[in-house]
Structure 1
């Protein structure tokens, strides 16, 4: 069993976040405006695991996960209320 974790937008991801996701998480954060970083409450990332694969989801509906080829993939949840 693997436990997930949470951390605020703009903070260093915890050690539990796999290296393969880190570059894409950083790329997402680079695209987010300073205004969004300053909002209250600060959006948070949530790391979960599904069938042994990591999923990092930002409260704003951005999802970073692994594709079938093992590469990090970024997509947006169109049903997210903050979209």
Structure 2
């Protein structure tokens, strides 16, 4: 099990943040209008890092499902 961490927007990410995730976080911060008071949270899902900003911005090296099923149908009919 890997533990996550939090840090402030604009600060250097902690050492536990993987090197391949750092440029993606930097790019997300560059696109943000204002990061005042915001924080990043690093979590791990199935061994893959996911950094989420308080505003809902997600940065990861893994695919993330953020929408409905491709057919538009719910997969709840079981």
- Report the TM range for the smaller structure's normalisation: 0.7 to 0.9
Structure holding more strand per residue: 1
Larger Rg: 1 or 2? 2
Number of matched residues? 66
* Equivalent position of 2:52 in the other structure: 57
2:62 pairs with one of 58, 62, 67? 67
Structure 1, gaps ≥5 residues long: 69-74, 79-83
CA contact (8 A) 2:48 2:62 kept: no
**Length-normalised TM-score, structure 2:** 0.75
Structure 2, gaps ≥5 residues long: 68-78
Structure holding more helix per residue: 1
Give me the CA root mean square deviation. Answer: 1.9
Deviation (angstroms), 1:37: 2.8
Q: Distance in 2 between matches of 1:49 and 1:67?
A: 11
Runs ≥4 residues deviating over 3 A: none
Q: Distance in 1 between matches of 2:30 and 2:48?
A: 24
